[in-house]
Amino acid sequence: MKKVLKITGYSLLTLIVAFVGFTYFGNYQPSEVEEMDIVCDAKTPSLTQGATIKVLSWNVQYMAGKNYVFFYDKLDGSGKDSRPSRQDIAITFDEVARIIKAENPDIILIQEVDENSKRTDYENQVKILKDKISSEYGCYTSAFYHKSTFVPHPMIMGSVGLKMATYSKYKMTKSTRHQLEKIPTNIIMQQYNLKRAVLETQISIEGSDKPLTVFNTHLDAFAQGYDTMEKQVKEIKELLDSKTKGNIPWLIGGDFNLLPPGEAYARLDDDEKAYFQKETELKKIFQDYPGIPALKDVNGKEFSKWFTHIPNGRSNVPDRTIDYIFYSPNLKLGKYYVRQQDTQKISDHMPLVGYFTLPGKAEKNQK
């Protein structure tokens, strides 16, 4: 009997060790700061001082389209859908490419693109999108913020790979991933959760030792009950402050999953308020840096023009602003807008577009 118990004990220990090993090594374990690969055509030009560039930021919801209510779209996890159809993915890819081609931005900041995810048939969406847009985008880089060999969730039960990607018509010289604060769940759950991040990309400016620094990010959405969002905003602001002190031109775009200061919280239905704090954590960035949409926009008479999000299964029309582009004081803002009119059936977010002029004297041959 003792021998049987001993064998059983060894078997149980082996299973525990195997589970712990699989949980750790089967999930992405990023460093606090990591260098990311850049794919760049050698002929890609540098920016010139004083140039005006157009920037587009968009959460494309892994090309799923708007025909679904995914399990995570409900606060209680009760959404009925686990993945989009192949047909909807193909249609959405074409629609995203259509909008990008029509806008023709110089820099594209994309959130929620899949690579090696079961739900999108293990495709590399970063590369597919690159091939669908103009060949002028000579450089691109990307970073994971969710990567797992196998997620044992009943609505997933397979691999997950979620990225943010930055595309540029101008030469990238460095790409760095900065890990953000994680939701402090138990040690097992934290391994399988998203690991939110900021992707920093440096784009060379001819004749200047201060490159344009472009940040791309996607903050947490399910941190209710924790101070995670406050900490993530603090970490981002520290990155921005460091560039500002060095007089380095920068901009940051992405899905912040936070409301702007002002009337936005009061406008939400009571059940939607559960996703947010009454006083937004984003206030600390708005206090020190200009952003688009500006506070005068989101709190003005035409505030609905600046909505960027249509929550799946909770609204049929845009009802909140949670996507932004902030920029350094040494950049000059031109025209900016949310492209709402023909994008509401493409993703649960709509693209945000802005024109920025770099420091220095403009070259005649560059817009």
DSSP string, 176-230: EEEEPPPP---HHHHHHS---EEEEEEE-EET-SSPEEEEEEE--S--TTSSHHH
Residue 159 has pLDDT above 90, yes or no: yes
Token pair in block for residue 325: 């582009």
Write down the pLDDT at residue 327: 98
Q: Which amino acid is at 113?
A: V
Residues 6+ apart with CB under 8 A from 191: 23, 24, 27
Tell me: do 198 and 271 sit in the same domain: yes
* Averaged pLDDT, 116-140: 97
Residues 17 and 54 in one domain: no
Does residue 230 carry a pLDDT above 80?
yes
Of 231, 235, 233, 317, the C-alpha closest to 269 is 317
Q: What angle do CA 158, 159, 160 make, to 5 degrees?
A: 125
Q: Are residues 10 and 45 in the same domain?
A: no
Question: Are both 40 and 9 inside the same structural domain?
Answer: no
Coil, strand, or helix at residue 198? strand
Enclosing domain of residue 20: 1-30
Provide the domain count of the chain.
Answer: 2
- For residue 75, the model assigns a pLDDT of 86
Q: Is 161 domain-assigned?
A: yes
| Torsion from C-alpha of 233, 238, 243, 245, nearest 10 degrees | 130
Rounded mean pLDDT, 218-241: 96
What is the rounded average pLDDT of the residues 6-10?
53
Q: Is residue 362 part of a domain?
A: no
User: Is the four-CA dihedral 87, 91, 97, 99 of positive or negative sign?
Assistant: negative
- 2 and 88 inside one domain: no
Among 1-15, 17-31, 299-313, whose mean pLDDT is lowest?
A: 1-15
Higher per-residue pLDDT: 20 or 96: 96
Return left, alpha or beta for 80; rule: phi > 0 is left, psi -120 to 50 is alpha, else beta.
alpha
The amino acid at 70: F
pLDDT of residue 365: 44
C-alpha of 307 from chain center: 17
Helices H, strands E: what count in the chain? 8, 16
Q: Using CA atoms, how far apart are residues 72 and 220, in angstroms rounded to an integer?
A: 13
Please name every residue paired with 124 in a beta bridge, in sequence order, or none if there are none. Answer: 115
50 in the same domain as 9: no
Q: Which range, of 1-5, 138-142, 276-280, 290-294, averages the lowest pLDDT?
A: 1-5
Structure tokens at 362: 């403009």
Residues 347 and 271 in one domain: yes
More confident residue, 185 or 91: 91
Identify the helix (H) or strand (E) that includes residue 232.
helix 228-245
16 with 47, same domain: the answer is no
Half-sphere exposure of 231 (CA within 13 A, CB side): 13
For residue 14, is pLDDT > 90?
Answer: no
276 C-beta neighbours (distance < 10 Å), count: 19
